[in-house]
Structure 1
Amino acid sequence: MKPRAVVIMGPTASGKTWLACELAMRYPVHIISADSVMIYRGMDIGSAKPDRGELERFPHALIDIRDPAEAYSAAEFRRDAIAEIEAALGRGQVPVIVGGTSLYFKRLLDGMADMPASTPEVRAGIQAEAERVGWPAMYEQLRSIDPVACQSIHPNNLQRLSRALEVHAISGRPISDHWEAQASDGTSGEVRLADGQLVSFLQFGIMPSDRAWLHEQIALRFDLMLDAGLIEEVKVLLDRGDLHDDMPSVRAVGYAQVWEFLNGHCSHAEMRARGIAATRQLAKRQMTWLRRWPGLQVLEAGPAADQRESMLQSTLSQVADFLQK
């Protein structure tokens, strides 16, 4: 039988972690996090990381694997996720990959282009140039080099912008050329294990049926994060002295807005409003991406009292059929 795994994607605050834990109560699963903020140690509240009790009951791989000062690429995620999938299958478990970082899922399920490895020297040179001329000028530089890549890289996504410039500097080829080679290699939607077997995926996407409800959930969750000590959590990061606002960890939604507040750039009310607005924008981007993702089993989430139970029963039915094939 072909190895099988389950994927749970969805926008922030839609119930992904809850659904993964429900599966863990019924099947021998191994939960693998696909969240680009939960990877960081000490960034618990703002990332909505499961608490210690939940993690003891339902362990998650790829959580707390990096210091906030360290980078973590989609290529590294793919490598680590495949290793976790192989280990889980070897133990007779069902891998369940859950999270909201679209790029991680794209790299895992679409494969990786044959791109040059990142080098600290080139990356530092790009950072130094950006500090001198500004990131908007760097984006225009990328536009002149690779207009195709600029169509999918937002000017504010400094990590992807820097990586695109780095790939061109090292290889002499636009990063979009590497993407095109990846798209034509015939591996889309498949993950090949070390023994040559291809993993079959059942892919769920949680899609809120009521946007107003999702916005309410986002606002409620952000307020709960503030009550739980998000400002104090970010202050610990700020007081370290070795982090700056160009780092992926500090640019994370919620953390970036509290960082601005602690540095005196906005009031508490402005910070709250900006944090909620940024989270809404993130959810919108996540849902737009999900609508374009092929082969997705859509699960509707919403305010109705029985909607969560309906979503769970639909998931359990599909997972049972999938594992018996």
Structure 2
Amino acid sequence: MKIKPIIFFLMGPTAIGKSFLSIQLKKKFSNLEIISVDSKLVYRGLDIGTDKPNSKLLKIIPHHLINICNPSEIYSVAQFRKDALKSIRQIILQNKVPFLVGGTMLYFKILLEGLSKLPASNIKIRSYIFYVLCHGKIDLLYQRLKIYDPIMCHKIHFHDTNRILRVLEVCYITGQKFSDLIKSRKKSFPYKVFQFGLFPRNKKELFKKIIMRFEYMLKNGLEREVKNLFLKKNLNLSLPSINSIGYKQMWLYLQKKITYQKMYDSTIQSTKKLVKHQLTWLKKWKNLISIQVNTLEQTKNFLNILFKKYL
């Protein structure tokens, strides 16, 4: 029997310390190659609000699948799977070990399980669904999802506008339910995967960290960053890049549709909801090696021991 090459997953909620830990592990084990599993880090120009590793660090420790498309583009989960598999193959050919790190759980899931043949994303159809059929209102978008695909409605969070739009887009193009189409996806994966999931010891402490993190982003120029995007005529809230947490709220503030305080509160609230959603995914994850994060230093030492065992 052919031995499957080893790859590692490091999954966890926003702000738990995945980037720090992955970089420390890369320094310890030079044969690791980091692949980002984050639906927002793929976009150029979305740096401060995504807490993206800075350019200096990326030169020292390159990350795959960061800064690979423009914010005007729609980067789909299917495209991620294609790009990730390509990166994994290239890394293994170099006798190195792929190390996939991130918090976009859907990307991890589809990478493992495969994806049925779905139609390519169409920005005109997305804009039509969002602005014409739903008048730019998320609650109307969600109501349509309930009608078109009740099964997916139970699986997608109310605030996950991008996924809701994608499901409705597929329904609109194919005339079929998204939930029916994905039943046919493949489930083979040609690698031996060690999956590590990070869980907060204290959720309240993680929420405090989220507040500190966002305040740091604001002090370091998030408003200026979003304003630069805002001035570009080809960007709007129907795009996944602009509709992401932090960018969406700042965009609405720049449009003078909400106050600065509302922008701040809404971003914190949405990030907390995202964390809860990420943790829900992780709790149901199969074959997961769960790690409770007390301190990052302790977690780093524990991961060092585990990686040394498997490498």
* Structure 2 residue corresponding to 1:233, chosen from 222, 225, 228: 225
SS in 2 for 1:202: strand
Amino acid in structure 1 at the alignment position of 2:239:
M
* Structure 2 residue corresponding to 1:52, chosen from 44, 51, 55: 55
What is the distance in 1 between the residues matched to 2:36 and 2:111? 12
- In the TM superposition, what whole-angstrom CA distance separates every residue of 1:19-51 from its partner, at most 9, and x where no partner exists? 111121122111111111111111100000001
Question: Which residue does 1:112 correspond to in 2?
Answer: 115
SS in 2 for 1:240: coil
What is the distance in 2 between the residues matched to 1:234 and 1:121? 23
Question: Which residue does 2:39 correspond to in 1?
Answer: 36
Question: Which residue does 1:320 correspond to in 2?
Answer: 308
- The alignment's TM-score, normalised by the length of structure 1, stands at 0.88
**Unaligned ranges ≥5, structure 1:** 192-197
What is the distance in 1 between the residues matched to 2:97 and 2:50? 25
* Structure 2 residue corresponding to 1:281, chosen from 252, 273, 279: 273
Q: Number of matched residues?
A: 308
Q: From the superposition, tell whether residues 111 and 313 of structure 1 become closer, same or farther in structure 2 (CA, over 3 Å).
A: same
Question: Which residue does 2:92 correspond to in 1?
Answer: 89
What is the distance in 1 between the residues matched to 2:182 and 2:122? 20
Question: Which residue does 2:198 correspond to in 1?
Answer: 206
Which shows bigger deviation, 155-164 or 242-251? 155-164
Question: Which residue does 1:195 correspond to in 2?
Answer: none
Question: Which residue does 2:154 correspond to in 1?
Answer: 151
- In the TM superposition, what whole-angstrom CA distance separates every residue of 1:107-164 from its partner, at most 9, and x where no partner exists? 1112112333345665465456435595544543443332212111334433222322
What is the distance in 1 between the residues matched to 2:267 and 2:170? 32
What is the distance in 2 between the residues matched to 1:266 and 1:134? 15
Question: Which residue does 1:251 correspond to in 2?
Answer: 243
What is the distance in 1 between the residues matched to 2:150 and 2:171? 13
What is the distance in 2 between the residues matched to 1:68 and 1:16? 24
Residues 149, 177 of structure 2: 8 Å contact kept: yes
- In the TM superposition, what whole-angstrom CA distance separates every residue of 1:274-305 from its partner, at most 9, and x where no partner exists? 22222112111111111111111112113xxx
- The alignment's TM-score, normalised by the length of structure 2, stands at 0.91
What is the distance in 2 between the residues matched to 1:122 and 1:273? 31
What is the distance in 1 between the residues matched to 2:178 and 2:308? 40
Residues 202, 319 of structure 1: 8 Å contact kept: no
Question: Which residue does 1:194 correspond to in 2?
Answer: none
* Structure 2 residue corresponding to 1:219, chosen from 193, 208, 211: 211
* Structure 2 residue corresponding to 1:309, chosen from 262, 283, 297: 297
Identity of matched residues, %: 36
Structure 1 residue 312: Cα displacement: 1.5
Q: From the superposition, tell whether residues 271 and 140 of structure 1 become closer, same or farther in structure 2 (CA, over 3 Å).
A: closer
Q: Alignment RMSD, CA only? A: 2.0
- In the TM superposition, what whole-angstrom CA distance separates every residue of 1:199-247 from its partner, at most 9, and x where no partner exists? 1111111111111210111111111111111111011011113211222
Amino acid in structure 1 at the alignment position of 2:64:
A
What is the distance in 2 between the residues matched to 1:155 and 1:219? 22
**Unaligned ranges ≥5, structure 2:** none
SS in 2 for 1:50: coil
Question: Which residue does 1:78 correspond to in 2?
Answer: 81
The answer to whether structure 1 residue 169 and structure 2 residue 172 are counterparts is yes
Amino acid in structure 2 at the alignment position of 1:14:
I
Residues 13, 275 of structure 2: 8 Å contact kept: yes
Residues 33, 97 of structure 1: 8 Å contact kept: yes
What is the distance in 2 between the residues matched to 1:43 and 1:297? 31
* Structure 1 residue corresponding to 2:292, chosen from 285, 300, 324: 300
Residues 76, 121 of structure 2: 8 Å contact kept: no
What is the distance in 1 between the residues matched to 2:48 and 2:148? 40
Structure 1 residue 79: Cα displacement: 0.4
